[in-house]
Amino acid sequence: MAQPSQKIELYNQANEQAAQIKLDHVSKQFGGTQVLKDISLTIEQGRFTAIVGKSGSGKSTLLRILAQLEQTSSGQLTFSGTDENSTTMMYQDSRLLPWKKVIDNVLIGLPKERTEKAEEVLKAVGLWNYRHAWPYKLSGGQQQRVALARALIRKPSLLLLDEPLSALDALTRLDMQQLIEKLWKQNGFTAVLVTHDVQEAVRLSDRVIMIEDGEISFDIPIRAKRPRSLSDSTLIQIEHEILHRILQRT
Ligand code: ADP
Ligand code: MG
């Protein structure tokens, strides 16, 4: 059973443009397969929401619906606080164009006049020194930093992250988690992160939603103060509680 999400204190300042999205009885079918079943949910403005669940449970489909890359089969999606065009998506691979230098990858689809802004966002992700490098010279983590810069320059009102860190080694992943949290705090966008990693979900988000077979099986707030430490006993307890719930269902 889904639990109602409780009001929780925000630890970052939401940006006025940040998206709020309400899903009312959203379902999605592909052919005869029901992938999302009657999902009702409000993604609140400026909040960091994590979505966890096994492979094939419908997480990416839900993100694609939030990005309006996919239509619902039934039910409604209502956006507020935003211009829908400022949704950006980040994937497991950085999707950089290998024939464009780092800064030109950040500038894809934008006029050259944005070069200064591109330098600024590359600074924000710690890659200013690499602005004239070719993508193949960068590590996986650095390539994901470029993907983040490419998202940031578009001033997202909604940043959708589909397992962006799952191909990275554990230490790089910790670095990237800190960076994503920092950028979220500085920019105040609404963030929705799909991850396999329960520790990552608990560490970064204000709320963890679990999807099982296309349904929300739980929805819990994470109230721990930020900045969060991995050894915070409250976080460890919540992480164990979530893992316990997942294991109960297998
Ligand atoms: P997750 O991201 O949780 O692993 P997905 O949302 O990618 O899950 O997929 C959920 C289910 O929907 C899977 O069974 C997948 O095969 C199916 N599916 C996803 N996209 C399509 C599509 N475009 N056409 C047909 N089936 C799809
Ligand atoms: Mg997926």
For residue 3, what pLDDT band results from cuts at 50, 70 and 90?
Answer: very low
For residue 5, what pLDDT band results from cuts at 50, 70 and 90?
Answer: very low
For residue 65, what pLDDT band results from cuts at 50, 70 and 90?
Answer: very high
Predicted local confidence at residue 122, as pLDDT: 98
pLDDT surpassing 90 at residue 102: yes
> Which residues neighbour ligand 2 (ion) by CB within 5 Å?
60
pLDDT surpassing 50 at residue 7: no
Predicted local confidence at residue 80, as pLDDT: 87
The first and second tokens of residue 178, run together, are: 């800190």
Contact 207, 5 (CB under 8 A): yes
Q: What integer best gives the mean pLDDT of the chain?
A: 92
Question: Which atom number of ligand 1 is nearest to the Cα of residue 55?
Answer: 4
Residue that the structure tokens 């940043």 belong to: 159
Test site for ligand 1: of 61, 70, 197, 210, most ligand atoms within 8 A of the Cβ:
61
**CATH code given to domain 15-86+156-229+244-250:** 3.40.50.300
Q: How far is the CA of 205 from the centre of ligand 1 (A)?
A: 24
CB of 57 closer than 6 angstroms to any ligand 1 atom: yes
Q: 205: closest CA among 46, 59, 87, 29?
A: 46
* pLDDT tens sequence across 144-155: 999 999 999 999
Q: How far is the CA of 53 from the centre of ligand 2 (A)?
A: 9
Q: How far is the CA of 152 from the centre of ligand 2 (A)?
A: 22
Q: What is the mean pLDDT of residues 23-48?
A: 96
Percent of the chain with pLDDT over 70: 93
* pLDDT tens sequence across 209-233: 999 999 999 999 998 889 898 889 9
Predicted local confidence at residue 82, as pLDDT: 64
pLDDT surpassing 80 at residue 11: no
CB of 214 closer than 6 angstroms to any ligand 1 atom: no
Q: 37: closest CA among 93, 83, 77, 75?
A: 75
Question: Which atom number of ligand 1 is nearest to the Cα of residue 70?
Answer: 23
Going by CA atoms, what residue is nearest to atom 7 of ligand 1? 60
pLDDT surpassing 60 at residue 69: yes
pLDDT surpassing 60 at residue 2: no
User: Pairing between strand 158-162 and 20-30?
Assistant: unpaired
CB of 55 closer than 6 angstroms to any ligand 1 atom: yes
- Going from N- to C-terminal start, the domains of the chain cover 15-86+156-229+244-250, 96-154
Going by CA atoms, what residue is nearest to atom 20 of ligand 1? 61
Predicted local confidence at residue 230, as pLDDT: 84
Predicted local confidence at residue 245, as pLDDT: 86
Predicted local confidence at residue 83, as pLDDT: 61
